[in-house]
């Protein structure tokens, strides 16, 4: 963990190689926060962000039907295809650029399997703690595959503004793909916090170099300066 402080900025870097790792053969998973048999009291969560797992699922394999409750579960497909089924009657095959939100609420059952018998699927599984418990379960899937590179795209938000997927938490999730040399400067509201998760490429974040799998937490700042060193693909969470 690297800390960078100035008068107005605090930035904590979570290196890729510091993450928890579990390889089950059919599933190769990297845990940013405590998950299953991996426990790190220093990285149990960040604000309402509870889980970021980077998963690689073998062809034809996946998670059998299992329960969840009182969690906002977001799945972001990086490569490949994922088959979803749940107790609400929803079925879907998600592909690269698709984002799925399950509001588990009072309780749901679901399964997630690699839809291909040939190629692995690469995804990020994200859990956010909800702002209230026992809500009616809900499901949404939306494709952002045609979103152009070079700017941030709002994927989820509390109110579902600007065409984003609504979630039961005051947390905005953005995704972005930058070509080499492209820059974005997201502005945070006073008192907010940010978590950046780099999926692919290299990124300069407020003067610090991040590589694929790295993450950075920001507080006490209102502007992030993000520049692609080569190319970069990342998620950015704006949290209360």
158-173 confidence digits (pLDDT tens): 999 999 999 999 999 9
215-236 confidence digits (pLDDT tens): 999 998 888 999 999 899 999 9
Domains of the chain listed by start with CATH number: 2-239 (2.60.120.10)
Region for residue 233 given its phi and psi (left: phi exceeds 0; alpha: psi -120 to 50; beta: otherwise): beta
Give the chain's mean pLDDT. 95
- pLDDT for res 2: 41
Q: Which of 35-39, 177-181, 185-189 has the lowest mean pLDDT?
A: 185-189
What average pLDDT does the segment 80-87 reach? Answer: 98
Task: Give the model's confidence band at 189: pLDDT under 50 very low, under 70 low, under 90 confident, else very high.
Answer: confident
Maximum Cα interatomic distance, the chain, rounded to a whole number of Å: 53
Q: What percent of the chain has pLDDT over 70?
A: 96
E strand segments, 32-80: 49-57, 62-68, 72-79
At residue 224, what are phi and psi to the nearest 5 degrees? -110, 135
Is pLDDT above 70 for 77?
Answer: yes
């Amino acid at each position: 963990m690297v800390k960078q402080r100035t008068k107005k900025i605090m930035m904590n870097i979570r290196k890729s190689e510091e993450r928890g790792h579990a390889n089950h053969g059919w599933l190769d998973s990297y845990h940013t926060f405590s998950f299953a048999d991996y426990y790190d009291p220093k990285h149990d969560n960040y604000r309402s962000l509870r889980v970021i797992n980077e998963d690689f699922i073998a062809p034809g394999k996946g998670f059998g039907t299992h329960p969840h409750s009182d969690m906002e579960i977001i799945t972001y497909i990086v490569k490949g295809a994922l088959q979803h089924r749940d107790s609400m009657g929803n079925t879907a095959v998600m592909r690269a650029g698709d984002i799925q939100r399950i509001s588990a609420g009072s309780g749901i059952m679901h399964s997630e399997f690699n839809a291909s018998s040939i190629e692995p699927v690469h995804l990020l599984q994200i859990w956010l703690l909800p702002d209230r418990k026992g809500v009616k379960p809900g499901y949404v899937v939306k494709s952002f595959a045609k979103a152009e590179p070079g700017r941030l795209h709002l994927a989820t938000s509390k109110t579902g503004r600007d065409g984003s997927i609504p979630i039961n938490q005051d947390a905005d999730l953005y995704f972005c793909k930058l070509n080499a040399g492209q820059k974005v400067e997201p502005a945070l509201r006073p008192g907010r916090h940010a978590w950046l998760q780099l999926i692919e490429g290299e990124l300069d974040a407020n003067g610090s170099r991040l590589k694929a799998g790295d993450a950075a937490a920001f507080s006490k700042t209102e502007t992030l300066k993000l520049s692609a060193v080569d190319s970069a693909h990342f998620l950015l969470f704006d949290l209360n």
